[in-house]
Chains A and B, each alone.
Chain A
Amino acid sequence: NAGVTQTPKFRVLKTGQSMTLLCAQDMNHEYMYWYRQDPGMGLRLIHYSVGEGTTAKGEVPDGYNVSRLKKQNFLLGLESAAPSQTSVYFCASSRNTHEQYFGPGTRLTVT
C-alpha cells in the first residue's frame, strides 16, 4: 500500500493564479482531511470530508475549496492564490478509528 500520497510535492505560484492539490489514499478510508502548517506552528484544519460527495469546513477554510468526487481522492483548490497561503499542506485520512494517516506534504510558495 502506498498509504496517503500528495501531488505535487512542491509548487510556486504567482499571486492570483489558481491550482489544485491532489490527495489520494489506497486504504479505503472513509474520512479525509486537509491541513496547513505555517513555519514554527502546528497544523490547522482547512476542510474535511466524512464520505464520498461530502465536505465540511474546518478551522481556516477561507480562500480554499474542496471536492471529494471519489472515495479515494480529496482535492484542495486555490482559486486566486495569495502570499498568505504560502504554507506546507498536509492531507490525512482515517477510518472509523482514532488514528489519522498523513501524507508527505506539499510545499506551496505564493509570490
Chain B
Amino acid sequence: DAKTTQPPSMDCAEGRAANLPCNHSTISGNEYVYWYRQIHSQGPQYIIHGLKNNETNEMASLIITEDRKSSTLILPHATLRDTAVYYCIVSPLSGGYNKLIFGAGTRLAVHP
C-alpha cells in the first residue's frame, strides 16, 4: 500500500476551518484516500473517503488534487470536540474489504 506523509501537529482556533494536508505521491490508480480520526485513545472513527473527485459529508470535505498525489481534509467550523489525531490512509477496496495501514497521523488541537 502507498504511504502517506502528514504534519505531526496542527493548531486551529475554534470556529475556524481546519485544513489538514496529506501527501501520497505513490498512490496507485485503484487506491482510495481515507480519513479517520481518533479522539483521546478511543477507537478510530471514519470521516470520509474519495477516489478522484472531491467529496463532502456532514463531517468534512475532502479535496483531492488532479494528479491524486495529495489531498486536504477540511473541517469547516472546528469545535473543541474535533481535537484528535487525524489519519490519512490510502488503500484499495479489494473484494469488499480493505486493510488499513495507519501512519502517525496529525495531532489537531482546537483552542478557544
Q: Are A42 and B43 in contact (CB under 8 A)?
A: no
Query: Restricting to B57-112, which residues have a CB under 8 Å from any CB of A?
Result: 87, 93, 95-105
Known: A42-B105, A90-B43, A99-B46. A50 touches B95 (CB 8 A): yes
- CB distance B104 to A40 under 8 Å? yes
B49's nearest neighbour on chain A, judged by CB, is A98
> A91 → chain B, closest Cβ, in Å?
8
The residues of B with any CB-CB pair to A shorter than 8 Å are 32, 34, 41-46, 49, 87, 93, 95-105
The residues of A with any CB-CB pair to B shorter than 8 Å are: 4, 30-31, 33, 35, 40-45, 48, 50, 58-59, 88, 90, 92, 94-105
User: Could you list some 6 contacts between A and B, CB below 8 A?
Assistant: A4-B43, A45-B99, A45-B100, A45-B101, A98-B32, A102-B44
